[in-house]
Structure formats: structure tokens, C-alpha cells
Structure 1
Amino acid sequence: MRYVRGMVDAAAVRGVRRDEVLAWAGGINPEMLDASRSRVSLKQFSRLYSAVALHLEDEAAGLSAYGVPLGAAETMIRSGVTATSLADGVEILAKALNAVLPGIKVESFISQDELGIAMSEIRPSTTDRHSTFEVCLLTTYAAMAWLYGRRLPLLSVDFPNAAPRHLYELRTLFAGTLRFNQPCASLRFSNEHASLPVLRTPAEVTKFLRRAPRSLIEALLTRGELAVLVRSSIHEHLPKLISLNEVAERFALSPRSLHRKLEAEGESFQKIKDDLRRDLSIYALTRTSQPLKQIAIDVGFSDQTSFQRAFVEWTGRPPGEWRRMASSHK
């Protein structure tokens, strides 16, 4: 929701009323803007982002301190698809990003242990630095996830500023450790992935770009193969909550091996379980008339109170309030 709020504010500076901007997304309840951990659908977000970007003539949709020219993502992706490996790709992408990111210097690096892309401001900005680097790193990471056919595991994602309040959301989007107050912003990969090949072809680029930014967001949310299987296993056993040990046994793995393999995909058993239960709860609250007690039971809670407490932790709002806000703006 903080991204939605940022786009609404950026459009407001250009004289567009808040209700008009929200209408571009197909209708978002204005009350949701004040709920920091609330969510909108992928379709709504994509429509809003595209509309604001076109209106502002800024591909960052006002979320970066530096306006990004329309066509920047296309330049990056069409350049990246020519790479032969991840090592080759970080160098090519850094050059492309330098051409389309005003105000930011981008460099690639490779050593015996790691490789990646680093970003630093040419001149310090006076606006939200975190939002600027967040957008740049997320867009680059999403493009790489699509090009290499997987959400690449990261050694770390570095930010040059202090940790923000929305750490949960960032951990969901990046498959790696988040580090703050670093010398520069960067995406750091293990050198063991240096030879990873680009899986996409130039012929696929046009179709991918036609669906942007939705296609970029989908690439960010794509889980590794094992994470998908674990999520499916947890789902099929609900309302019973199966343990990590039980899931590991299903896949003929030790619990330690399962934990390690999920970690390599940037996931954890607890996070997969929480995300699944949150998603199922939101669906039931917004698409059905099931009472809260039944929803709590369906997603594996022994009582409604525990469910409500967990839901507030996941989304920042009680489930009843979430249902009211969603239904009042349909």
C-alpha cells in the first residue's frame, strides 16, 4: 500500500485528485491508503502504475526521486536478453541502467566469491532515498528473475539508508538477506551462479513488455519449485497444520535439508505457511460471506481470537475491518 500511496501523492503534486487517481485502478477504497500493510489486487496495482506512469511520463510512477524515462524497462530487458550468463548479464544490465537511470551511477562487479550490480546517487537527493533505491533494485531484480527463469537467490540486498518499517514486505519480494546503512545499494549474488544462462529469447520480450508492470511483479512473486510444492502440501492438509518435519518426510528429506533447500530459494517454512494462510484469509474475507470463526478454522486456527491476532500482524488491520473496507468499495 505504501507504493499506492506514493503514486497517489506523486499524481496529486501534478493536480490530480486522490479519488480520480484511485479510479484509474478500478476503484480502491481511500481508507485503505491509511492501512500500511493492506494490499490491492495485482490487476489494480498494475492498472494504477501504468496510468500514473503515463500521466507523469515517468516509468517509476513518481516513486523515485529521479524521473525515469518511458521505455527504460524495455531498454534494460532487451539488453539483458543478449547476455550469455549471469556474469555477462550483470555487466550488460549495468550499462543499460546507466543509460536510463538519471541521477544514479550503476556499476557491475565480480570477484572470487560474488558478483552483482551496485547503485549510488550522483548527487544526494532530498526526497525519500529508500523509495528511490527500492524501486530501482526491485525492477532490476524482477527483470533478472524473468530473464533467468527463476527468482535468483541473493547473498544480500544492500541499501544505503536505515531500515524502514515495511521490512516484511521487502523480505517477501527479495530472496536474500536485507542489509541497511551500506556504502551503496546493490544486488549481490554468489559467484557459484555466474554461469547461469539466460532462458528467455528476444522473441519473448515483446509479449512480456506488453503486460508490464504486471509481468514484472509476477516475476518477483514467482516462487522456487520446492517452495511451491511445500505451499501445496500445507494447503492440502488444512485445516490441520502439518509441521516442517512432516513435509520433509513427504519429500524424503531430512528437516535440515528441507530448511537448507528452501533457504537457497529465499524462503522459509514459516514464511510459506504464513503467506498461504494470509492469502486464503483475505480471499475468504473479500470473496465470501463466511463468518470469521469459520475462516479461522479453515486456515488452521483453534479459535477466532488467535486468528484475529495473527491477521493484524499480517496486514495491520483486524479481519472484520478489512472485510468492511473491501465490501464498501466494490
Structure 2
Amino acid sequence: MLHPPQTVSISFVHGMLSGVLASGRPCELFLAEAGIAPELLAQADARVTAQQYAKLFRALTEGLDDDFIGLLSRPLKRGSFALIARSTLGAPTLEVAIRRATRTFHLLQDDVVLEAVCRDDLAGVVMRFNGPAALQTVFLQEVLLRTTWRLMAWVVGGQLPVVRFDFAFGPPAHAGGYGKIFPALQQFDSERSAFWFDARRLNDAVRRDEAALRSFLADAQLHMLVPRRGSDAVSARVRAHLQFMQPAWSDLVATANALHVTVSTLQRRLALEGTSFQALKDELRRDTAIVRLSTSAVPLAELADELGFANSSAFQRAFKVWTGSAPGVYRRGGGA
């Protein structure tokens, strides 16, 4: 089974560090533990691997003894998230599980309330702040929406399609990456941040037990924070084909033939998904390069050949365009 390389925008790394930076604490040790070069923080187009992103979150929770990494007015001691997740076990339905989880979260802190709401044929979890405005950071709202949704999806077996995400702020600079983090209609400048789903799902049975919870918590950072790639979209099928064919890199015609569609049909369907064949190919090459540089000592010439470049110089020029940095910065950050 192929495991596609995944990377995360440096904007989300900035958000993850916002609680530490607001307290005046240095972040270099946390970055080093995650294998992230500090120089990347200054590059708007920089990215880190999904594993580095999860490692950074783990390093912060352990170093701060805070499951919410300094984002709330007082720490939520490590184990708080496990307690919230465990409160859902034994609930007969998703509706009861949501009520138990939001109630447990409220018992642990006073800054924000998560409320279960029904509006016509939609059910949702809505965020209401009680603390000072300084606490209402974009990243805190992002991580609360993401983790609450993913936890509830896990509770009912892994899938809980969202109809709409509401955000109580305007589109941030990194909103272009929201499609992978929040895969549904997005509405900014809303009164409250929330996620909404088909209200009929409230009757879904809870499908998890203690053994499943232990397995889930063992890799919770990846489950909660890292984007999950869908398998139905045409862009996902193109990416899967390109990855399967490595080290040969299919062109547009060969890819269309492999997917049993005409070139024009493939281009049209990708355009409807807001992307193109070349963009997907470059994204896969970029992510593959970042993962390889961060986890191995592969020579640049060899990596350039793997990625379909004529030589190392051509690869390095493309990499600088993709990320704003030379490949060596990523090597120093993740080094092997």
C-alpha cells in the first residue's frame, strides 16, 4: 500500500507555536526536537512533513505539560484530551458522545465553550469564548474545530462528512491550504466558529471501545491534525497514479489514458477541483523532496533524477520556487 508524502504549510507551524511565543518562551528547542530548521519560519512558502508537524505538537505538549500547547489561559495537563475522548466511550449515539465530550472539555477549562446545536436538518458544534479576546487566536479556533470534528468522526467509525465550516474571522493568509484541513464549504466572518453535518448522523451508534481508544491515542497527533486525503476526487486518483509510476513520471496524455478518460475531460475535471495536472505533479514532487530531504541523506543529484529533473541544478531551482529555500535548509532541519 502506498503512503503518499504529506507536507504542511509553515503558517500552521507558526500557529502551533503562537502560545509559546506569546508567553515569551523560546521555541528553538521544540523545533529541534521536531527536526524543523528555524530558518523555515521566515519563508512564507516553506513546508514541513506531516511527521514533523505531529512531532512538534507532541514536543510542545510534553515540554509544556499542556494538551493545548499554551493556547488557553491555563494549561490543560497532559492526559486531558485522553479524558475527553474516553468520556465518549459507552455513549449509545453520536449525539450523547458530543454532549459528554463538550461537557468534559468545559469542566477542564473556562475560556471556551463547545455547544451542540441543531438548526433545521443540520447539527453542529459551535464555539463560544468566555476569555479575553487575546485568547481567540485563529490557530486555537482552527485546532478546536479540527480536533473536535476528527474525534467525533473517529467515535462513529472514522467518517463524519461536514457540510460547512464556519470561521469567526476573515480569511487568513494561509486560507489557500484550508481545503485539505477543512474539506467542506468554508464560511468566513461568521458570528461563531463551528462545523455542521447532517443531523441524521446524531443517531449513529458509537463504535469504539477502550482498546480502540488506546490505539487512537498512540498516534493522536496524526489523526487529529494532519490532513486526510480523500480517495474519490479525480485529483487524488491523478496523484496516486503519479506516485505509483515513480520513478517514471507520467505526462498528461499517459495519465489520462491510465484513468480511461480523454485529456480534455481530465483537464476539465481537475479544473472543477481547483487544480491542474502540472500543479498536482509539482505538489507531489515538492512533498516527496521535502520528505526525502528530511528523513534521508540522499544526494541531490540522485533525488533530482528520482523526481524527473535533468540535473541537480534544475531541481534546486524548482525547489527554491516551491518553498522559498534551498534544499540544504531542509537537510539541516531533519538531517539523517
Per the normalisation by structure 2, the TM-score is: 0.74
The alpha-carbon deviation at position 328 of structure 1 amounts to: 3.1
Deviations 1:89-116 (A, max 9, x none): 4333333333334211221122442112
SS in 2 for 1:118: strand
The alpha-carbon deviation at position 133 of structure 1 amounts to: 0.8
Deviations 1:238-296 (A, max 9, x none): 5124478656538xxx979x88xx98xxx98868666434322324555432449x74x
CA distance in 2, matches of 1:324, 1:313: 14
- CA change 1:88–1:9 in 2 (3 A) is closer
The alignment status of 1:239 with 2:243, answered yes or no, reads: no
Deviations 1:163-193 (A, max 9, x none): 1111133322122122211010101113354
**Structure-1 residue corresponding to 2:47:** 39
Deviations 1:71-130 (A, max 9, x none): 331122112333444444433333333333421122112244211211111244225521
Q: Which runs of 5+ in 1 are unaligned?
A: none
Moved more, 165-174 or 186-195: 186-195
- CA change 1:76–1:310 in 2 (3 A) is farther
- CA change 1:158–1:8 in 2 (3 A) is closer
SS in 2 for 1:226: coil
Counterpart of 2:260 (choices 249, 254, 276) is 249
CA distance in 2, matches of 1:113, 1:326: 47
The alpha-carbon deviation at position 158 of structure 1 amounts to: 1.0
Q: Which runs of 5+ in 2 are unaligned?
A: 1-9
CA distance in 1, matches of 2:44, 2:145: 21
Per the normalisation by structure 1, the TM-score is: 0.75
How much is the aligned-residue C-alpha RMSD, in angstroms?
4.0
| 1:249 partner letter | H
The alignment status of 1:136 with 2:131, answered yes or no, reads: no
The alignment status of 1:21 with 2:27, answered yes or no, reads: no
The alpha-carbon deviation at position 324 of structure 1 amounts to: 1.6
- CA change 1:100–1:147 in 2 (3 A) is same
**Structure-2 residue corresponding to 1:71:** 79
CA distance in 2, matches of 1:234, 1:193: 36
The alpha-carbon deviation at position 156 of structure 1 amounts to: 1.3
Deviations 1:14-67 (A, max 9, x none): 665443333333x43221121234233444333332332233332111245664
**Structure-2 residue corresponding to 1:223:** 229
Does the CA contact (< 8 Å) of 1:118 and 1:187 recur in 2?
Answer: yes
The alpha-carbon deviation at position 70 of structure 1 amounts to: 3.0
The alignment status of 1:328 with 2:332, answered yes or no, reads: yes
The alignment status of 1:98 with 2:102, answered yes or no, reads: no
SS in 2 for 1:52: helix
Does the CA contact (< 8 Å) of 2:48 and 2:290 recur in 1?
Answer: no
**Structure-1 residue corresponding to 2:164:** 156
- CA change 1:20–1:111 in 2 (3 A) is closer
| 1:70 partner letter | R
CA distance in 2, matches of 1:105, 1:310: 46
Counterpart of 1:203 (choices 211, 230, 244) is 211
Does the CA contact (< 8 Å) of 2:165 and 2:196 recur in 1?
Answer: yes
Does the CA contact (< 8 Å) of 2:146 and 2:224 recur in 1?
Answer: no
Does the CA contact (< 8 Å) of 1:154 and 1:189 recur in 2?
Answer: yes
- CA change 1:310–1:208 in 2 (3 A) is same
Once the two structures are superposed, the pairs formed by residues 282-297 of structure 1 within 5 Å of their partners are 282-286=290-294, 287=296, 288-291=298-301, 295=304
The alignment status of 1:185 with 2:193, answered yes or no, reads: yes
CA distance in 1, matches of 2:256, 2:184: 24
| 1:98 partner letter | H
CA distance in 2, matches of 1:269, 1:23: 36
Does the CA contact (< 8 Å) of 1:87 and 1:110 recur in 2?
Answer: no
Deviations 1:178-231 (A, max 9, x none): 2211010101113354444443322211232233334433xx433344356553
CA distance in 2, matches of 1:275, 1:194: 37
- CA change 1:202–1:15 in 2 (3 A) is same
| 2:88 partner letter | G
